[in-house]
Structure 1
């Protein structure tokens, strides 16, 4: 007698689950993928193609002047005709950087410098007629009257808390630079932000800044600012490591 092998067929609900799972796997495999296409002499594809199209395509970038190439720390990039490039990294995504901002970023070491990879494309500043990119390690801001300058860390945080380029400080007019006793500073159109390990980051501007600079700034008897300017006896005052500077109208 031949024994018949028993087979078990999946239920309708089980079959539906298997089909759904297979479909989900197939869809997931294609998420974010863009088929490379020729643009001029080179192909543009993947996440760089997505950013290329999002940011304006040939009208903004022109044609590519390189193929997609390796960049620092496992990234990729492609350069385009109009002094622009798109950089991609797994921790930052794909973002466009161009013009004067790109030139400044390059002068500071590209993706291998302190700024790292861009984490935004080039954007319009909401508080004034300018442009900016944020990077992993800071930002670069450009305006017609100031050109492009880097700002980062606690100084950028203080500047942001005071209104960014739309606040009293305006746009940066220097990159972040070293100052006395391991400090750092940026100058802005409307003042300055100084940071030191002992005092943190504080803004100084106007007549109080003028008096502070005449007294030697951070190298003089007042040292670094320890707080922001405040109302005082009908005028203004600001505290420093070495004392207080007051202003009366």
Structure 2
């Protein structure tokens, strides 16, 4: 790649009792986007938070809020998350019967539209919506929990998605098990936005800048 990847720390791995402080810390440490995992205990086996929490922390940073909707159905909540301050809103291809309509709705709200695919979902699911998305999120673990092991087959999947996208202005984002060890192959395959949770929120806030730099493949201060 001609430029370093964007790093989107997932606050799922942060200290929720200090969420605003944690977001300020990763902002100062060099995060490009702030990744907010929304889980409903139905589409995925975990529950996180909803639009009111997103709204409550929106003021602590000007960085892009990358809202990953691991919920089904998603359509009924798009307006609320848009109003709460989401910049990028990503829905799962598996979460509803009308993916094209969901993406159109996100764009009509003035937001960047993203589509996510789970590890068992083939990239062919993206074929008919690539012209109306801004981000394709390739899940490199099964969604629902942080700290899972990276799925190696995801690297070639990212490469296939990269070829499908072609010259379209669509970013490839990856989420799950991203670390200094797994990031280089993902970047080489075409990933442009790396979501990282435990690899960023390792240690205290003083370590976050070095953790982010390591995922980018850079020395701290380089």
Q: Which has the larger radius of gyration?
A: 1
Which of the pair is proportionally richer in helix? Answer: 2
Query: RCO greater where, 1 or 2, for CA within 8 Å and sep 6 or more?
Result: 2
TM-score grouping bracket, smaller chain normalisation: under 0.3
- State TM-score, norm by structure 1: 0.22
Which of the pair is proportionally richer in strand? Answer: 1
